[in-house]
């Protein structure tokens, strides 16, 4: 099987398993901190700033789907070094994903520790951390009155699972999603949070997880940093997917990080708004970073783009309109102007610097904050 056929096959598998791989691209872009070919000018027409220093590691706290060739190329172009992305919930599909890493072993690695992220960077490679956006795949094992509470979580940890969200928009055995924000963390959810902490898996709440479930989970996470990998600010846009000041404060109180998405709707589309959404740009995006920095400090903000690449997610063909209503996301699904793929990352850094962010503050928001939390939770 040639490289293109392999990627097409994995993309087809992703439609069933949740692994999404983009189409093949010709030619490999150089990996490193330089500005990519597609980012010669920022959204305002100015040349973007270069990406930090050679030693800094730029981390995307979550992009949608699984690592795929199209996204890898965009990371290389934009100067992003590590990205957290979804992986399968069954071993056969995971084996297929591993074949992708084998195929591109000279460009990308699956990392299980901060040491491996740093080692990949030193070799000029991109690293990918494996996550689940929802724990629903664990099924009812945590909640059965018969048998034991044993689950497959430990097995997936051993093959690289390092970050798990509790719920994805709606309720499951562990708690409630963002569309049902008042539902509590369940007994099963309590046990799951405890097991995640004991294994050294990062707890990812807020965003897709409902507010009360989120706050309940944080309340039993004493001494462990908790994150929200990809969300936006409810005080700016009262969208179901955005987090309140209560959640921001609680996550920061654990020493955790809130990742900012590039999803246009989450910047400007509030509850009840079913009309057209204005297409905003870098300045509105930087407002989100400023909000976190001003409220709880720069140590608690990061990038979590939620980029979907070429993944199709229209209503009736990827989004269930009976569950996710049109005041949450509109069609076409868009990202902000000037940051519509990770290849345009220099525009964001340029925007932060125009706001007066220091080099140290930019370095923290672009990756150092994530690496600090990873080190604290994963150890080693």
pLDDT in 10s for each residue of the chain, 380 residues = 333 333 333 333 333 233 332 222 222 233 333 333 333 444 444 334 456 888 899 999 999 999 999 999 999 999 999 999 998 899 999 999 999 999 999 999 999 999 999 999 999 999 999 999 999 989 877 777 776 767 789 999 999 999 999 999 999 999 999 999 999 999 999 999 999 999 999 999 999 999 999 999 999 999 999 999 999 999 999 999 999 999 999 999 999 999 999 999 999 999 999 899 999 999 999 999 999 999 999 999 999 999 998 666 667 777 788 888 889 998 878 999 999 999 999 999 999 999 999 999 999 999 999 999 999 999 97
The phi and psi torsions of 103 (rounded to 5 degrees) equal -65, -35
User: Model pTM greater than 0.85?
Assistant: yes
Half-sphere exposure of 290 (CA within 13 A, CB side): 15
Tokens of 233: 């600010």
In this structure, the number of other CB atoms found within 10 A of the CB of residue 275 comes to 9
For 125, 209, 211, 242, 261, the CA distances from 272, given in Å and listed in that order, are: 44, 20, 19, 14, 21
Q: Which pairing describes strands 161-165 and 126-132: parallel, antiparallel, or unpaired? A: parallel
Contact 231, 212 (CB under 8 A): no
Say if residues 71 and 24 touch (Cβ distance below 8 Å).
no
CA pseudo-torsion sign 219, 152, 143, 132: positive
What single-letter DSSP state applies at residue 298? G
Q: What does the pLDDT read at residue 313?
A: 67
SS3 110: strand
CA triple 346-311-121, angle to 5 deg: 40
Tell me 136's DSSP state: G
The pLDDT of residue 48 is 41
Do 262 and 308 touch, CB atoms closer than 8 A? no
* Residue spans of alpha helices (H) in the chain: 3-17, 69-78, 91-103, 114-122, 153-158, 187-199, 211-219, 245-253, 265-268, 282-296, 345-354, 359-363, 369-378
- A 10 A CB-CB count for 327 gives 18
CB 289 within 8 A of CB 277: no
Nearest to 261 by CA among 319, 207, 329: 207
Return the structure tokens found at 223: 């001494």
């Amino acid at each position: 099987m040639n490289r293109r056929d392999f990627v097409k096959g994995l993309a087809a598998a992703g439609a069933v398993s949740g692994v999404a791989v983009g189409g093949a691209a010709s030619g490999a872009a150089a990996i490193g901190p330089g500005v990519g070919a597609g980012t010669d000018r920022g959204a305002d027409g100015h040349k973007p700033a270069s990406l930090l220093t050679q030693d800094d590691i730029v981390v995307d706290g979550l992009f949608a789907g699984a690592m795929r060739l199209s996204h890898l190329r965009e990371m290389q172009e934009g100067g992003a070094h590590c990205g957290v992305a979804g992986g399968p919930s069954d071993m056969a599909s995971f084996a297929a994903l591993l074949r992708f890493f084998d195929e591109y072993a000279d460009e990308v690695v699956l990392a299980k520790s901060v040491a491996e992220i740093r080692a990949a960077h030193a070799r000029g490679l991109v690293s990918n951390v494996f996550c689940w956006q929802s724990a629903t795949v664990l099924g009812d094992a945590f909640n059965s009155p018969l048998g034991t509470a044993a689950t497959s979580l430990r097995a997936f940890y051993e093959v690289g699972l390092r970050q798990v969200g509790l719920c994805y928009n709606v309720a499951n055995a562990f708690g409630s999603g963002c569309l049902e924000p008042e539902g509590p963390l369940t007994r099963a959810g309590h046990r799951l949070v405890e097991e995640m902490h004991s294994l050294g898996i990062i707890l990812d709440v807020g965003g897709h997880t409902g507010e009360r479930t989120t706050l309940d989970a944080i309340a039993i996470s004493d001494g462990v940093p908790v994150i929200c990998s990809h969300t936006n600010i409810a005080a700016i846009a009262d969208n179901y997917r955005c987090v309140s000041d209560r959640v921001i404060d609680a996550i920061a109180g654990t020493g955790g990080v809130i990742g900012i998405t590039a999803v246009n709707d989450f910047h400007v589309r509030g509850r009840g708004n079913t009309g057209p959404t204005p297409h905003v740009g870098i300045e509105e995006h930087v407002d989100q970073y400023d909000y976190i920095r001003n409220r709880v400090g720069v140590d608690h903000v990061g990038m979590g783009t939620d980029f979907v690449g070429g993944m199709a997610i229209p209503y009736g063909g990827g989004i269930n309109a009976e569950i996710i209503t049109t005041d949450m996301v509109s069609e076409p699904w868009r990202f902000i102007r000037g940051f519509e793929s990770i290849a345009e990352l220099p525009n964001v850094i340029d925007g932060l610097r125009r706001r007066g962010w220091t080099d140290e503050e930019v370095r923290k928001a672009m990756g150092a904050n994530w690496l600090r939390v990873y080190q604290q939770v994963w150890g080693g």
